Structure 1
Amino acid sequence: MIFMFITAVVLAEICSALPLSGSIYIWAAESAGPKYARFVGFIVAWWACTAWMTFTASNCQATANYIVSQMAVWNVNFPGGVGNDNIQWRALIWGISELMLLLSVAMNYLPPRLYSFIFKFSVGLMMLDFFLCLIWLPIGVSKTYGFRSAKDVFTMTYNGTGAPPAWNWILSFLFTAGTLTGFDASGHIAEETMNASVVAAKGILSSAIATGVLGFATTILFLFCTPDLDTVFSLNAPQPFVQIYALALGKKASIFMTIIAVLGLIMNSTVAIVASSRLVFAVARDGVLPLSRWVGCVDSKGQPRNAVTVIYIFAALLLCTILPSQVAFTSLVSAGAVPTIAAYGLIPLLRLTMTPNHFQSSHFRLGKYAKPFYVCAALFNALIFAVDISPFYFPVTANTFNFAIVIFIAITIFAVLSWYFIPEEKWLRREQVLRAMDASEGQEEH
């Protein structure tokens, strides 16, 4: 939580000075200084677009997993059996995932005035889910299989990875890393936000703090409420928590909790598409993507509808990889967090080494804490990056190899090739960089 907050503060500082759509790649480019801005901008633009668009697909599959897990609760027989080795099962997951994607994308075509309602409804659902888990779940556990002891919760470890004990413990970050990313989203819609230099930056901080505090409470709660390991490992649903709800609250109650989770995930995907479409729009507007002129257009209400369509097509095609191989899809989406974490670490590193005294116009200046915060954020995100590209099981075989690093390297190579072959007058010209930096510095003088 502490290092997550530090990273958010570092991003908020530069967001306040540069509240632009496309945010994170612009922040990285400006942090690198005029000489290397264009090169860094290309790389982080590719990283960010890949991360946000793959997140949409993975979130839709996560939603499908909640739905089909009810089949395990009610012992529904599925032709060929429940499991990723069954093509019929993978086809079911794929079909539901595509439907969830379609629902989330459709809401992004609604009039902009409804977005506020969507955001508030999404937050309301998440808080309802949180409080039900905080109140109802412990009551149910106390009346059924009982709580785990404090000794189990705070001292027990289990090595199911085959990694050395220390690295096995570090690998726990693999599953929390998903909540350590995404708080840059408010920066992506900065150009549609009033008083963005304050509000967008504050959004980064508040979302990180809310996620950290509530996520910590939820983690401790779930550790106390999780059944013994033998029971946990016997659960065969794609989303085992649906079965845990059934064990603690009853089968019918698990349906209600599943509905809340599914609605929350649909809204989560919808909000993610809002943020990612603004990122894709900004990159296209600046000329780096194929069909940039079309993708970078907005409708009569100023909404990047074409960018939303691009994200839908990309995510829909990505979900199709579920059909031939669940491993292929998992490898693709597991790489989604890697580029974001890399960008989170690169920006403070560049601020520390290349532009330590720039962006003084920020409303969230770090002052004397700047350099220590840059060091902490860079090192922490380097650790999370290492976890995300690490093998998850040892010894490593072809079946257990983590392809996230291969995908990340491929994305970076495409970025470098784009930087090399796309003429400077097409995207992120040097004078653009200098003008942006001058503007951010000039705000303070004004």
Structure 2
Amino acid sequence: MSNMELKPNMSIISVDDMNVTSVLSGRHEKIVMDHNVDHDEAVILALGYKQEFKREFSLLTTFGVSFSVLGLLPSIASTLWYSLAYSGNAGITWAYLIGMIGVMGVACSMAEISSAFPTSGGLYYATAMLAPPKYKAILSWIVGWSNYFVQVTGAPSVAYGGASMILALKQIMDDSYVYQTWHCYLLTVGLTFLAAIIASLPTKWIAWINSASTILNLIFLFVSWIVVLGGNNRVEQGLPKFNSNKIAWGIDNLTDWPDGISILMSFMAVIWTMSGFDSPFHLAEECSNAQVATPRAIVLTASVGGLLGFVFQISMAYTIVSVDDAVNADLGQPYISYLAQILDTPRVLCLASFAIILAFTMTFACMIAASRVLFSYSRDNCFPLSRYWCHINPYTQTPVNAVWLNWFFGCLLCLLMFGGVAIDAIFSVGAIGSFISFTIPTLLRITYARSFFKPGPWNLGRYSYISGWLAVSFTTLMIPILCFPQYRGADNTAEEMNWTVLVYYGSMFLCIAWYYIYAHKVYDGPKSNLDKSTLIEDENEEYQIIDSVVSKGGVVNYASNEVNDEKA
């Protein structure tokens, strides 16, 4: 009989009856817990993991984190280098809409997968469960590291955008100020340091802070939209209040590529801006009713964020005075340059301050998601010294060690700014890494695993394959496009080179080489971290446990896989 302590209340979870595919599936095992188990805990146990976080996130607060990671205003401001600077106003109007169609396909497919595998490991765990057994380790390894590259580059790239805006404002206010790269580096490091402190707080505090930041996001975005439309000074400059439709929706190809390619290249902006919609997946173990709330938060983030982002960018397209001047101004930050074209200095300072504040809230939201990814992958021995990064701080009940390791890596990544345009690689690495990590499990879901995939309570039904093929087609098209430089031939100098190829594929080459040289000896995909004493296989042993508990006047509960209709 099991040597576990028998208490008045016991719960027995039959893994094969939970309608999930997990590392414990097909082994006819049952999990015995010495307390009452609710549905959320039963699911995570059936997936092979202990319930280590407090489930203090709801649909609203999970959406709050992902919407903060989305950070529409600072994301739009930071990525104008790719939308406006590649194809002009078309990049922030109709090209953005086309890109959003592909992004929504990705988001819906991911939401369905998250309902089936509501773990912090997210796409990495799903890949291992959906892949052929022979390839589950290497495919999950590639997906895991690709997704980690997304997470670890998120906070420093956002903080870098915020620091750039701060220094651009300094140039507006002080004509004698001369921009220095080390100023931007130290400011970026300082912003990420403060963000790491917030990301180390208890879950309940983080949920409250992100709810507040979501409200700020919506208020600042709305106020900025009103000021841009109603408070611009175009008329005082002898211009009409708004641009014509031809100007607002027209292509200004600022690349050396044909118009069609320049439009595809501008998708980098919408891809990076919308990349935060996967955050709820990584918070699934801290969310109540995770199998329903997590996918809803993903779809809500992508759809609401996409719509609001489009509305705001339309206002920019109809008010911008000169695309070329906004991109090439001495301020070095297109959004600040754009504001300076249409607003007086006090209003420029006000709206720029909104974007900077939201860049900071976005930074710590990115750090929260990144720490959960590092924690979950380390739980399966995917990283060197994994036992330290999967440690839960006993005071905050959050993975504090993971937060600070990510902060350290971010400081190293920001050294790329001393290489000039090489810093741009941390934006495109986030886009490529996310698309590779999204594509592999989605492709497996609609091909190899279509016969045995067990959908969760939130699923797309007959539309799964339409959404899946849309997502895979879009990501397959965009992965090579994201590596294109703005200029080609003699114009593509070392300073103008797109260094994504080296930064992402070079890093991934090292990760795969490490897997085949050593890591394959210790890593075989996701593994359960449940105590062996909680697992039983023999029916007689199960009945002995039940008899022992009942004889003490206790109750044995069988965890159910059914989700309350009201919740679903």
**Among 294, 303, 306, the residue aligned to 2:401:** 306
Hey, what does 1:86 align to over in structure 2? none
Is the contact between residue 185 and residue 414 of structure 2 (CA under 8 Å) also seen in structure 1?
yes
Q: Distance in 2 between matches of 1:328 and 1:212?
A: 28
Q: Distance in 1 between matches of 2:500 and 2:324?
A: 30
Within-5 A mapping of 1:223-234: 223-229=317-323, 231-233=325-327
In structure 2, relative to structure 1, the CA distance for the partners of 1:399 and 1:254 (3 Å cut) is closer
Cα shift readout 1:222-246 (whole Å, capped 9, x = no counterpart):
1112112354355221223223323
Hey, what does 1:45 align to over in structure 2? 144
Q: Distance in 2 between matches of 1:243 and 1:328?
A: 22
Q: Distance in 1 between matches of 2:268 and 2:519?
A: 39
Q: CA deviation at 1:360?
A: 2.5
> Is 2:199 the counterpart of 1:108?
yes
> Is 2:261 the counterpart of 1:167?
yes
Hey, what does 1:427 align to over in structure 2? 523
Q: CA deviation at 1:425?
A: 7.0
Cα shift readout 1:308-343 (whole Å, capped 9, x = no counterpart):
010111111222333x32233333443222111112
Q: Distance in 2 between matches of 1:335 and 1:288?
A: 20
Is the contact between residue 224 and residue 351 of structure 2 (CA under 8 Å) also seen in structure 1?
no
**Among 483, 493, 500, the residue aligned to 1:389:** 483
Mean CA deviation greater in 49-58 or 175-184: 175-184
> Is 2:438 the counterpart of 1:339?
no
Q: CA deviation at 1:144?
A: 4.0
TM-score, normalised via structure 2 length: 0.71
Q: Distance in 1 between matches of 2:297 and 2:526?
A: 30
Cα shift readout 1:283-312 (whole Å, capped 9, x = no counterpart):
111111111111110111421000001011
Q: Which amino acid aligns with 1:287?
A: N
> Is 2:166 the counterpart of 1:67?
yes
Within-5 A mapping of 1:204-243: 204-229=298-323, 231-233=325-327, 235-243=329-337
Cα shift readout 1:68-101 (whole Å, capped 9, x = no counterpart):
11133235223xx44xxxxxx1011111111111
Q: Distance in 2 between matches of 1:429 and 1:75?
A: 55
In structure 2, relative to structure 1, the CA distance for the partners of 1:129 and 1:374 (3 Å cut) is same
Is the contact between residue 111 and residue 296 of structure 2 (CA under 8 Å) also seen in structure 1?
yes
Q: CA deviation at 1:269?
A: 0.7
Q: CA deviation at 1:67?
A: 0.5
Hey, what does 2:85 align to over in structure 1? none
Hey, what does 1:414 align to over in structure 2? 510
Hey, what does 1:401 align to over in structure 2? 497
> Is 2:470 the counterpart of 1:376?
yes
Is the contact between residue 136 and residue 525 of structure 2 (CA under 8 Å) also seen in structure 1?
no
> Is 2:224 the counterpart of 1:133?
yes
Is the contact between residue 286 and residue 427 of structure 1 (CA under 8 Å) also seen in structure 2?
yes
Hey, what does 2:356 align to over in structure 1? 262
Is the contact between residue 24 and residue 184 of structure 1 (CA under 8 Å) also seen in structure 2?
no
Hey, what does 1:92 align to over in structure 2? 183
**Among 13, 19, 29, the residue aligned to 2:128:** 29
> Is 2:444 the counterpart of 1:320?
no
Is the contact between residue 321 and residue 329 of structure 1 (CA under 8 Å) also seen in structure 2?
yes
In structure 2, relative to structure 1, the CA distance for the partners of 1:233 and 1:295 (3 Å cut) is closer
Q: Which amino acid aligns with 2:288?
A: M
In structure 2, relative to structure 1, the CA distance for the partners of 1:5 and 1:400 (3 Å cut) is same
**Among 195, 208, 213, the residue aligned to 1:117:** 208
- Paired-residue identity, %: 25
In the alignment, structure 2 segments of 5+ residues that lack a partner are 1-99, 530-559
Is the contact between residue 228 and residue 319 of structure 2 (CA under 8 Å) also seen in structure 1?
yes
Cα shift readout 1:171-192 (whole Å, capped 9, x = no counterpart):
2212222123221111101111
In structure 2, relative to structure 1, the CA distance for the partners of 1:76 and 1:423 (3 Å cut) is closer
Q: Distance in 2 between matches of 1:429 and 1:167?
A: 38
Q: Distance in 2 between matches of 1:357 and 1:139?
A: 56
**Among 113, 127, 133, the residue aligned to 1:14:** 113
> Equivalent residue of 1:34, what SS?
coil
TM-score, normalised via structure 1 length: 0.90
Q: Distance in 1 between matches of 2:196 and 2:526?
A: 36
Mean CA deviation greater in 183-192 or 245-254: 245-254
Cα shift readout 1:251-308 (whole Å, capped 9, x = no counterpart):
1122222221111111101111111100001111111111111111011142100000
In structure 2, relative to structure 1, the CA distance for the partners of 1:400 and 1:424 (3 Å cut) is closer
Hey, what does 1:4 align to over in structure 2? 103
Q: Distance in 2 between matches of 1:337 and 1:426?
A: 30
